[in-house]
Structure 1
Amino acid sequence: MIKSRIRRTLTSFLVVCLVAAAGITWFVTRTPSSPFDGRVGTEAPSAELIQHGEYVARLSDCVACHSTPERAPFVGGLEMATPMGSIFATNITPDPGTGIGAYSLADFDRAIRHGVAKNGHRLYPAMPYPSYAKLSDDDLRALYAYFMHEVRPVHQENKPVGIPWPLNMRWPLALWNTVFTESGTYQTKASADSRASADTGALWNRGAYLVQGPGHCGSCHTPRGWAMNEQALDEISPIYLSGALLDGWYAPSLRGDRNTGLGRWNEADLYQFLKTGRNQHAVVFGSMADAFNNSTQFMTDNDLKAIAHYLKSLPGDPARDGTPWNHDATSSDPLTIQERRTTAGAQTFMAKCSYCHGQNGRGQGQWIPPLAGSASSLAKESASSINVTLNGSARVVANGVPDAYRMPPFRLQLSDQEIADVLTFVRTSWGNTGGAVNPAEVKELRERTSPTSSNIVILQMR
């Protein structure tokens, strides 16, 4: 009787396990539904739809990740580092064998807004589908028309993922998506300003849609959790767009933080930065240079103003940001020869940096950015300061013309200690409160980065 009871118990346990396994298997392999399921869509799209799709591709900055300087646009191959290993952007040209040429509109929707490829495998969230989930049906349809009917197909095999087994298994991403993403397109909200007019409310919502959806600004500027998830996806959370460290760069706050964010910028400053790549406060560098070169400069004036309006509605956090920066006039005075010899990093700054950035750290108008009061000089994270000093910055290409004031790389000219010293000098002068830089931090970034070569793949607008 005891043996029989044990057998019944084991049998019940096995049945439960099999049912659970079947349920999990169904859950992780099920195909997300699409509003485009069942639509053949074989008719040729209009020229207007294709043109709109090209604009959505600009808004979404598809070319920045899916292109490299050595290849045609959208062929893939760009390496993206993750804590688990490297992954490579894929071929998204309409080649039927190595690209997305065999994708239906519904397949395309599932990949863009749900992170599921045509063959059913889950995409890594380096593809910003948590943001693209908010794309409207009209924008998604236009984007599909552009890729299928305007982009030139290129037969180019994708590079294998550099993540070792078992970390490269993709089925857990189904569970990740359930916990860390939100489904559904962007829904119009009440403006953050209760006094806003209907026109201003529409401007705010357009900006919110662009920032949260196609612009996927949170992918870089929102802190990530233990599972590499964005900790917030919209302005409901005070940490949304509050700044984040990602792949060797610190993306600053896009909120109203006066030190590390946009607190000292007005909407006109933001518009100018996104339209021209520079303003009195900063010049694009790092990943933002690629975003400007391939995306924001091509946006309409109304869309840029909408983004600026939305971002300026996001309050800062004084507790996180600290005491507002004020320029320390006492450190504006030219250093004496003796002070240069006795202050670590001062002589290097005077020799290598002051000609462009000024002895007072104020920069040269909109052409060369200030170091005094800059977000990278006030943030506790020093990654951007180190990275741009080691590797320089990409060319800013406005209206097809590269600028002439590129930050040069100093990795071959300065040692880890010299870079640490000069950055410590910068981050503790003129009222800056970023703090000291350790040579070990410089060494670590030196070993895993290389001099910047701008990913300039400027698509020609028709």
Structure 2
Amino acid sequence: MKKRFSFAGIALIILAGGGWFVTRLPSSPFDGAAPQATPDLIARGEYVARQADCVACHSLEDGAPFAGGLEMGTPLGSIFATNITPDPQTGIGTYTLADFDRALRHGVTPDRRRLYPAMPYPSYEKMSDDDISALYAFFMNDVTPVQQAAAQSDIPWPLNIRWPLALWNVVFTTGQTYQTDPDQSEQWNRGAYLVEGAGHCGSCHTPRGMAMNEQGLDSSDPDFLSGALLDGWFAPSLRGDGAAGIGRWSEDDLFAFLSQGRNDHAVVFGSMTEAFNNSLQFMTDDDLRAISVYLKSLPGQGPGWQAQPATVTSLVEAAQSGLPGAETYMANCAACHGRDGLGQNEWIPALAGATSSQGTEPASQINVTLNGSGRVVADGMPDSYRMPPYRDRLNDTQIAEVLQFVRSSWGNTGTPVDTDAVADLRMRTDPASVAPIVLQMR
């Protein structure tokens, strides 16, 4: 769903609403006392916290769970995740259930301060009242309070003025919980609820407009989950696009990726590693199957990938002929990813046909080549294989050339890689950011 408003309509809202509109607290169904925090309700809340991947944004690798501090880059500047432990001074210990609901589903704190939509309340607003109550019970009764004040954002004035976010919410959010689609199965609706709501998949995988709004909010919009550049990574399309999306993946492939962090097409990397390590692997098979069914229902566009296998002879000849990137690939990449680019089944991902090898945005391939990939930690055990960092071994030109070679070989259709783009990401990224973050919430 998209919400479209004319500039005249927005101006009318500003003139008519005045100060009352931007300072009022949104209504909440929880103005009474919170339900009793039974063990079952708390356990359900912990599971909802996994669905929502709260720990990934509100925790640091060397810090306490939910104590905040994570820096998140935006086009306006950096903002820092807040402390959401039940500490009464620096956390949410004084929040009522209604306060918690307003912050989570409307982006408004008890003191009427507006939250930036880096807090994915445009997605969380779809969560059910029951899930909100359970999540509150978990945070207030099963999370250890930590006294740690939140760092201040470095967004400059006047962009740091927050009251206009009240108007932003009117234009770019729906204000509704998830509405069941009667034409779809119960399993599809469960998957839609998880993806569009608590899972907030669109926050990364949906392109954003000039106002930093997600350009689609649900399955009715073709922009929803169609891929987006975010903070040095390109989150690929989760739609049925032939080459740049998951068109070649079966429902079983999707389920394997969500439950194990890998399949024959890909292995999680970048921010998706944290999503798997801290969230997806803890979800039930039924919920992961529902997500798989829902995602496979989203239509895509564009041609499929057509394999053009490279023989050993042709690859050696390419390197010997001086084809840019071919010799670098032979020396640094072929041993793991293969001379045919097909990798090693689910353990080392293929580069031939990979979604990151298609299209116009090479950010993910540049980032993972510079900084390597984090460990995939499943059932408490880190995996044995990972992409090593090459920032100290290859210069910007070599990385650009080898990626351009990958993106134009074996039937891949990716655009060329610019040396300046490599230099920019080298400067803006930190190799420490790929360290595995696996936090126990209790």
**TM-score with structure 2 setting the length:** 0.94
Query: What is the alpha-carbon distance in structure 1 between the residues aligned to residue 94 and residue 428 of structure 2?
Result: 37
User: Is residue 290 from structure 1 mapped to residue 274 from structure 2 by the alignment?
Assistant: yes
By how many angstroms is 1:93 displaced?
A: 0.2
User: Offset at 1:460?
Assistant: 5.4
Asked whether the 8 Å contact 2:368–2:387 carries over to 1, the reply is yes
Residue 333 of structure 1 contacts residue 360 of structure 1 at CA under 8 Å; is this kept in 2? no
**Which residue in 2 is equivalent to 1:405?**
385
Kept in 2, the 8 Å contact 1:67–1:73? The answer is yes
Q: Amino acid of the residue matched to residue 34 of structure 1?
A: S
Aligned-pair distance for 1:44?
4.2
Query: Cα offset for 1:435?
Result: 2.0
Q: Deviations over 1:190-217 (max 9, x none)?
A: 345xxxxxxxx00000000000000000
Residue 205 of structure 2 is aligned to residue 221 of structure 1: yes
Partners of 1:21 and 1:278 lie apart in 2 by 52
User: How far off is 1:239 after superposition?
Assistant: 1.2
**Residues 326 and 20 of structure 1: is their aligned pair in 2 closer, same or farther, counting only changes over 3 Å?**
closer
Partner of 1:181: 173
**Residue 380 in 1 paired to residue 363 in 2?**
no
Q: Aligned pair 1:170/2:162, yes or no?
A: yes
Instruction: Give the percent of matched residue pairs that are identical in Structure 1 and Structure 2.
Output: 62
Which amino acid is the alignment partner of residue 41 of structure 2?
L
Q: Which residue of 2 aligns with 1:340?
A: 320
Q: CA deviation at 1:354?
A: 0.7
1:425 correspondence with 2:405: yes
CA distance in 1, matches of 2:266, 2:74: 28
Structure 2 runs not aligned, ≥5 long: 1-12
Correspondence 1:34 to 2:28: yes
Q: 1:338 to 1:176 in 2, by over 3 A?
A: closer
For residues 358 and 344 of structure 2, the distance between their equivalents in structure 1, rounded to whole angstroms, comes to 19
Name 2:4's counterpart in structure 1: none
Note the C-alpha offset of 1:326: 1.1
Aligned 8 A contact 2:404 2:415 in 1: yes
* Bigger mean CA deviation after superposition, 338-347 or 369-378: 338-347
1: distance between equivalents of 2:318 and 2:412?
22
The verdict on how the C-alpha distance between 1:355 and 1:136 changes in structure 2, with shifts beyond 3 A counting, is same
Q: Contact 2:406–2:412 (CA<8 Å) still a contact in 1?
A: yes
Runs of 4+ residues deviating >4 angstroms = 19-22, 330-334
Consecutive unaligned residues in structure 1, runs of 5 or more: 1-18, 193-200
Q: So what's the TM-score if we normalise by structure 1?
A: 0.90
Which of 327, 334, 351 does residue 331 from structure 2 map onto? 351
CA drift at 1:420? 0.2
Query: What is the root-mean-square deviation in Å for CA atoms of aligned residues?
Result: 1.6
CA drift at 1:120:
0.8
AA aligned to 1:125 is P
SS in 2 for 1:342: coil
**Number of residue-to-residue matches in the alignment:** 429
| Equivalent of 1:24 in 2, 6, 18 | 18
| Alignment-mate amino acid for residue 392 of structure 1 | G
SS of the equivalent of 1:81 reads strand
Partner of 1:132: 124
* Cross-structure match for 1:363: 343
* 1:143-180 deviations in Å (ceiling 9; x for gaps): 00000000000000110111111110000100101100
Aligned 1:172-211 pairs, distance under 5 A: 172-191=164-183, 201-211=185-195
Secondary structure of residue in 1 paired with 2:214 = coil
What per-residue deviation string (whole Å, max 9, x for no partner) do you get for residues 306-362 of structure 1?
A: 0000000001122xxxx3211112456552267335111111111111111001100
Partners of 1:152 and 1:35 lie apart in 2 by 27
Change in CA separation of 1:343 and 1:138 when aligned onto 2, cut-off 3 Å = same
Mean CA deviation greater in 331-340 or 160-169: 331-340
Q: Aligned in 2, Cα 1:384/1:453: closer, same or farther, shift over 3 Å?
A: closer
Answer yes or no: is 1:155 the counterpart of 2:147. Answer: yes
Equivalent position amino acid for 2:339 in 1: Q
Q: Which of structures 1 and 2 has the bigger CA Rg?
A: 1
Counterpart AA for 1:284: V
- Deviation digits for residues 65-100 of structure 1, max 9, x if unmatched? 000111000000000001110000000000000000
What amino acid is aligned across from residue 157 of structure 2 in structure 1? W
248, 251, 256: which one aligns with 1:272: 256
Letter of the 2:30 partner, please give it: F
| Equivalent-residue separation in structure 1 for 2:339 and 2:233 (angstroms) | 26
- Which residue pairs with 2:6 in the alignment? none
Q: 1:113 touches 1:129 (CA, 8 Å); kept in 2?
A: yes
Amino acid at match of 1:372: A
1:92 corresponds to which residue? 84
Report the alpha carbon displacement of residue 380 of structure 1 after superposing the two structures with TM.
1.3
When residues 333 and 206 of structure 1 are mapped into structure 2, their CA distance, relative to the original with a 3 A threshold, is farther
Select the residue among 238, 244, 254 that pairs with 1:254: 238
> How far, CA to CA, are the matches of 1:328 and 1:24 in structure 2?
62
| CA distance, structure 2, for counterparts of residue 20 and residue 391 of structure 1 | 46
1:68–1:455 CA contact under 8 A, matched in 2: no
SS of alignment partner, residue 263 of structure 1: coil
Maintained 8 Å contact 2:120/2:203? yes
